Amino acid sequence: MYKVLVSDPLSKEGMHPLLEAEGFKVDVQTNLTKEELLDRIPNYDALLVRSQTQVDAELIQAATRLKIIGRAGVGIDNIDLSAATEQGILVVNAPDGNTNSAAEHTMAMLMALARNIPQAFLSLKNKQWDRKSFIGVELKGKTLGVIGLGRIGAEVAQRAKGQRMNVIAYDPFLTDAKAEKLGVQMGTVQEVIAAGDFLTVHTPLLKETKHLLGTEAFKTMKPGVHIVNCARGGIIDEDALYDAIVSGKVAGAALDVFEVEPFVDHKLLELPQVIATPHLGASTIEAQEVVAVDVCDDVVRYFTNQAVKNPVNLSAVPKEVLKKIEPYLLLGEKLGSFIQDLADDMVEEFHVTYSGDLQDLDVSPITRNTLKGFLRSRLGESVNEVNAKLFADRLGVTVTEQKTSQSKGFTSLLTVEIVMKTGRRKVSGTLLNGLGARIVRVDDFIVDVAPEAHLLFIRHKDQPGAIGRVGMTLAEERINIATMQVGRAEKGGAAIMMLSVDKYVGPTSVEKLKRLDDIEDAQAIEL
Ligand SMILES: NC(=O)C1=CN([C@@H]2O[C@H](COP(=O)(O)OP(=O)(O)OC[C@H]3O[C@@H](n4cnc5c(N)ncnc54)[C@H](O)[C@@H]3O)[C@@H](O)[C@H]2O)C=CC1
Ligand SMILES: O=C(O)CCC(=O)C(=O)O
């Protein structure tokens, strides 16, 4: 039974039905100290978090059993991605589920800021009927500068248009078509900063966005500008913001996120022009349910050998493509494992070629699985689809992925070829209607065998008696043959036998086979 630790508050409605239906054991233990987490994490296969739990390298190293970390939200800045990748732990997130809530929260903050609603409410709570101190400004006709026009930025831009604001936006990936569709003007980051009566940021916190709104940027802003940050603390330099408010350059700021959270004791909170919420952008019943469903769905998919939908440390593949390539994931893994058993020297190159139906698809998950199958037979269970490429790089194995139109009569064909100093070996597989995965070529020989647990690949001379001698030897070794195929390049020339047998063929038996007359090579293959 897989064990899941939930260390931040996640929606029970979103989470439990899915995980429990699949038989996972779910432990919800929020507010654990670092020591408690370090102590408990070795017992779990999956960890689900929001933004509070700091999943740092120390925690990841202690997580000896952990296979997957699910972040129920967008930002993954609380997870050490390289440590997770190194350890072969898949990280998934829920990028779409809270977009609407974060956009609505941004608009709520923008309007509350414009009309001093929190300040007025506080005054009223203090029994003051003050109608003079809270004169606001209208949004209509004002310019909103949006920095970062991704999922949330775009939703905010649309809502601002609904308030009859003019929107100018900067995003390095913004296209003319998207700007036109949203009805926003495109500008450089400097133009946006200079143009906005209101500025809102919706980028991740990156090297490039850290303190994007800092002392220099504040100098170029319009006097009386209002600023909103519902994205990440650190995009705005908090000290510079404080100075800009105190100097009167900035009229006010609405902040949901902070450089250090929890944010309770900061000079910004003492300024009447600052309104703030404790990182509530995604905190709605709807968003929390959807993000919990999304990460749990990926956890279930992962443990049931299906491709996940929102990988963070793997490249994501669209759902429609995923559906088409999913059946090939296991075939790729088997072919990778098969070719490893054919390797008799250090492998320098590993080539995966796709043809037929697979030709026009993003096949990167199949390549990763193929590489995983290949490296696992050699390095063991610590290799998985997350870190397989990293391991290959370290071993100096060049990995390529190619596509060709030559499918040799198959609807789809997946070929793995390895290059060693001693030569090349090759295996191809396909999915046959009704028969499932089949290995259809080994080197230049045509075969047709299911990629089953115990196989024997034998090269021999096409001479009378060779097949009988193999059969006799296996009988002496008490190894039962389930199926057997023979193929030859030409009469009396090089030939192969491909056998599936009922149990593991150990090295002694293989050596015995190799010593037989007319047998050139024998390789046991364990899939
Ligand atoms: N306050 C809260 O509770 C929530 C906060 N967030 C945060 O909001 C932010 C945006 O989230 P999404 O829209 O879902 O992400 P997204 O990935 O859809 O959009 C981010 C956009 O920022 C752009 N970008 C990257 N570097 C940039 C730069 N140097 N200058 C300008 N734009 C740049 C990207 O091209 C992308 O379009 C993230 O930081 C996320 O963590 C998200 C949900 C809830
Ligand atoms: O889980 C949360 O409430 C934080 C959401 C967030 O900041 C994000 O999704 O990036």
Per-residue pLDDT of the chain (527 residues; tens, 9 = 90+): 999 999 999 999 999 888 999 999 999 999 999 999 999 999 999 999 999 999 999 999 999 999 999 999 999 999 999 899 888 899 999 999 999 999 999 999 999 999 999 999 999 999 999 999 999 999 999 999 999 999 999 999 999 999 999 999 999 889 899 999 999 999 999 999 999 999 999 999 988 999 999 999 999 999 999 999 999 999 999 999 999 999 999 999 999 999 999 999 999 999 999 999 999 999 999 999 999 999 999 999 999 878 788 889 887 777 778 788 888 999 999 999 999 999 988 999 999 999 988 888 889 989 999 999 999 977 887 888 889 998 999 899 999 999 988 777 888 999 999 999 999 999 999 998 877 899 999 998 889 989 988 999 999 999 899 999 999 999 999 999 999 999 887 888 889 999 999 999 999 999 999 999 999 999 999 88
CATH superfamily of this structure's domain 452-527: ACT domain (3.30.70.260)
pLDDT for the residue numbered 233? 97
Return phi, psi of residue 198, to 5°: -125, 140
Q: Which atom of ligand 2 is nearest to the CA of 257?
A: 7
Sign of CA dihedral 324, 327, 329, 331: negative
pLDDT for the residue numbered 253? 98
Q: Say how many Å lie between the first and final Cα of the chain, rounded.
A: 24
| Long-range pairs of 33-42 with CB within 8 A, sequence gap ≥ 24 | 34/59, 37/7, 38/62, 40/5, 41/5, 41/66
Q: How far is residue 319's CA from residue 312's CA, in Å, rounded to a whole number?
A: 15
* Contact of 440 with 410, CB cutoff 8 Å: yes
Ligand 1 binding pocket includes 74 (Cβ within 6 Å): yes
pLDDT for the residue numbered 160? 98
pLDDT for the residue numbered 225? 98
Q: Is it true that domain 317-415+430-439 has CATH number 3.30.1330.90? A: yes
Q: How far is residue 519's CA from residue 312's CA, in Å, rounded to a whole number?
A: 49
DSSP 77: T
pLDDT for the residue numbered 36? 98
Q: How far is residue 116's CA from residue 138's CA, in Å, rounded to a whole number?
A: 11
* Contact of 184 with 212, CB cutoff 8 Å: no
Ligand 1 binding pocket includes 211 (Cβ within 6 Å): no
pLDDT for the residue numbered 385? 85
Domain with CATH 3.40.50.720 in the chain: 2-96+286-303, 99-276
The answer to ipTM > 0.90 is yes
Helix, strand, coil percent values for the chain (each to nearest 5): 35, 25, 40
Q: Residues 71, 202, 279, 425: which is the catalytic one?
A: 279
- The alpha carbon of 435 is separated from its chain's Cα centroid by a whole number of angstroms, namely 32
Domain with CATH 3.30.1330.90 in the chain: 317-415+430-439
Residue 232 among the catalytic residues: yes
Q: Residues 13, 36, 180, 261: which is the catalytic one?
A: 261
pLDDT for the residue numbered 250? 98
Sheet holding 90-93, edge to edge: 25-28, 3-6, 46-49, 68-71, 90-93
pLDDT for the residue numbered 262? 94
pLDDT for the residue numbered 378? 76
pLDDT for the residue numbered 361? 85
Q: Distance, CA 281 to ligand 2 centroid (Å)?
A: 7
Q: Could you name the CATH architecture of 2-96+286-303?
A: 3-Layer(aba) Sandwich (3.40)
Per-residue H/E/C for 217-235: HHHHCCCCEEEEECCCCCC
Tokens read off for 370: 């193929």
Say whether 254 sits in a helix, a strand or coil.
strand
CATH superfamily of this structure's domain 99-276: NAD(P)-binding Rossmann-like Domain (3.40.50.720)
Q: Residues 50, 71, 232, 376: which is the catalytic one?
A: 232
Ligand 2 binding pocket includes 282 (Cβ within 6 Å): yes
Residue 454 among the catalytic residues: no
Q: Which atom of ligand 2 is nearest to the CA of 280?
A: 3
Q: Distance, CA 11 to ligand 2 centroid (Å)?
A: 13
Q: How far is residue 112's CA from residue 275's CA, in Å, rounded to a whole number?
A: 8
Residue 261 among the catalytic residues: yes
Nearest partner of 96 among 324, 319, 325, 323, judged by Cα: 319
Q: Which helix (H) or strand (E) holds 76?
A: none
Q: How far is residue 420's CA from residue 350's CA, in Å, rounded to a whole number?
A: 9
Q: Distance, CA 77 to ligand 2 centroid (Å)?
A: 10
Q: Distance, CA 107 to ligand 1 centroid (Å)?
A: 16
